[in-house]
Amino acid sequence: MPAQTAVLGLLHMVCCAAVYLTVGLTARAVTRASGAAMLGIGAFVLVQRLATL
């Protein structure tokens, strides 16, 4: 019984590590994509503003 509990605990830790690693990497990708989108939108607005001068 103690060995089964240890194996289940270890499996739980591995699954949690995989989930949190995936969440962290996805959050980083979303942050970079949103930053790039903001730069693109800012450049577009700047070009529009300069074109109307």
pLDDT for res 29: 98
A 10 A CB-CB count for 9 gives 10
Exposure string of 16-44, with b = 16+ CB inside 10 Å and e = fewer, is eeeeeeeeeeeeeeeeeeeeeeeeeeeee
pLDDT for res 53: 84
pLDDT digits (tens, 9 = 90+) for 1-53: 899 999 999 999 999 999 999 999 999 999 999 999 999 999 999 999 999 98
Region of residue 28 (left: phi > 0; alpha: psi -120 to 50; beta: else): alpha
